[in-house]
């Protein structure tokens, strides 16, 4: 059957439709009235095809407030396994954390993310990882708008041709600049938290009031 036909689309599960339904609502343009979902994923590697997500961590940011209870953290059961990256994340395949299947994780994430703007450090990597997982499970791509904290951070710096500036800023650089404790580096939710604090401070520095200013 032709893959783009309407019929095929209707075979998506209910949770996808309820996710998609959220996008009919219009987002507020006031930063203080917008909810941001700050996310980070831990993966077995950098390949979109070979590697898999180990964990998704996310939290919600509304009007400068993070509600701890309302954060999101799922660990995913692994088929594919890459022993090199476990050293970074410390997530062993059979650790004690309760884990769910990839589909369950995606389902929970879509329910959590709704139509909110997704914020992350090098966010496109996380988005692409999630999209790859969605595709494996026969689902379309994420529909959310995204913001990258690296790009936003460079906007806070002055442009000068003589003084050399770094081209790339890692999450560690940001944590250092904003003196955020790097205690939970390389756990998904811990990184998401660092990203969230950095994001808050960048937004204050930029003094933007409107959402559209951030996307510029």
Partner 1 sequence: MKNTISERIADFLKNYPPFNAMDSKQLEKLSLEVVIIHKESNTIVFGENEKPHEQFYVVNKGAIALSKEGSSQILDICDEGDVFGLRPLLAHENYKLEAKAYEETILYAIPIKDFKPLALENKRIGNFLIESFASNTGNPYSIKHRGKLYGTNNEEDQFSTNKILDLQPIKYSTDLISCNEGTKIKTIANKMTKHNVSSILVEKNNLPVGIITDKDLRKKIATGLFPITASAKTTMSTPIITYPKDLTLAQSQMAMMKSNISHLVLTEDGTTDSPAVGILSKHDIMVAVGNNPAVLLRAIKRATDFKRLRNIRHGIMNLLRGYLDQNIPLGLVSKIISELNDASSKQVIEIALSKMDEDLPVKFTWLSMGSQGRGEQLLNTDQDNAIIFEDVPEEELEKTRNHFLKLGESITKGLNIIGFDYCPADMMASNRSWCRSLKEWKEITAHWIHNPGSEEILLSSIFFDYNVTFGEKALADELSHSIFDHANHYPQFFVHLASGALKNPSPSGFFRDFLVEQDGEHKDFFDLKLRALMPIIDAARVLILSHSIKSINNTAERYEKLAELEPNNKELYLACSYASKALLKFRTRQGLLHNDSGRYIALDKLNKEEKIKLKRTFKTVKEIQSLIEIRFQVKNLIR
Is there binding between residue 160 and partner 1 (CB under 8 A)?
yes
Site residues for partner 1, window 35-64 (CB under 8 A)?
Answer: 57, 59, 64
Alpha-carbon distance of 45 to 52, in angstroms, equals 7
Q: Give the nearest distance from C-beta 64 to partner 1 in angstroms.
A: 4
Is there binding between residue 30 and partner 1 (CB under 8 A)?
no
Q: How many residues does the chain have?
A: 216
**Judged by CB under 8 A, which of 161, 168, 212, 216 binds partner 1?**
161
Alpha-carbon distance of 195 to 149, in angstroms, equals 7
Is there binding between residue 7 and partner 1 (CB under 8 A)?
no
Residue with tokens 């019929």: 7
Residue with tokens 């790009």: 151
Is there binding between residue 197 and partner 1 (CB under 8 A)?
yes
Is there binding between residue 98 and partner 1 (CB under 8 A)?
no
Alpha-carbon distance of 214 to 216, in angstroms, equals 5
Q: Which helix (H) or strand (E) holds 59?
A: strand 53-62
One character per residue 110-149, x = contact with partner 1 (rule: CB under 8 A): ----------------------------------------
Is there binding between residue 173 and partner 1 (CB under 8 A)?
no
Q: Give the nearest distance from C-beta 94 to partner 1 in angstroms.
A: 20
Is there binding between residue 74 and partner 1 (CB under 8 A)?
no
Is there binding between residue 162 and partner 1 (CB under 8 A)?
yes
Q: In what order do the strands lie in the sheet with 117-120?
A: 99-100, 72-76, 53-62, 35-43, 117-120, 146-148
Number of other CB atoms surrounding residue 140 within 10 Å = 13
**Judged by CB under 8 A, which of 111, 136, 141, 183 binds partner 1?**
183
Alpha-carbon distance of 182 to 193, in angstroms, equals 10
End-to-end Cα spacing for the chain: 41
Beta pairing class for 99-100 and 117-120: unpaired
- In the complex with partner 1, the residue whose CB is nearer, 88 or 157, is 157
Is there binding between residue 71 and partner 1 (CB under 8 A)?
yes
**Judged by CB under 8 A, which of 1, 49, 98, 163 binds partner 1?**
163
Instruction: Give contact residues for partner 1 (rule: CB under 8 A).
Output: 57, 59, 64-69, 71, 73, 156-158, 160-165, 176-177, 179-181, 183-184, 187-190, 193, 197, 200-201, 204, 207
């Amino acid at each position: 059957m032709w893959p783009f036909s309407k019929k095929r689309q209707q075979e998506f599960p209910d949770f996808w439709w309820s996710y998609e339904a959220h996008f009919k609502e219009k987002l507020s343009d006031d930063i203080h009235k917008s909810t941001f979902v700050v996310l980070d994923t831990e993966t077995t590697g950098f390949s979109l095809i070979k590697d898999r997500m180990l964990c998704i961590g996310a939290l919600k940011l509304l009007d400068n407030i993070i509600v701890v209870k309302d954060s999101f953290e799922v660990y995913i059961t692994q088929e594919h396994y890459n022993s090199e990256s476990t050293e970074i994340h410390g997530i062993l395949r059979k650790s004690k954390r309760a884990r769910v299947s990839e589909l369950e994780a995606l389902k929970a994430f879509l329910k959590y993310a709704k139509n909110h703007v997704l914020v992350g450090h090098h966010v496109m990597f996380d988005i692409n990882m999630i999209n790859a997982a969605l595709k494996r499970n026969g689902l379309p791509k994420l529909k959310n708008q995204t913001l990258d904290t690296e790009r936003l951070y460079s906007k806070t710096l002055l442009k000068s041709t003589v003084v050399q500036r770094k081209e790339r800023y890692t999450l560690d650089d940001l944590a250092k600049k904003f003196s955020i404790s790097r205690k939970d580096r390389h756990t998904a939710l811990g990184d998401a938290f660092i990203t969230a604090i950095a994001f808050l401070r960048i937004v204050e520095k930029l003094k933007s009031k409107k959402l559209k200013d951030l996307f510029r």
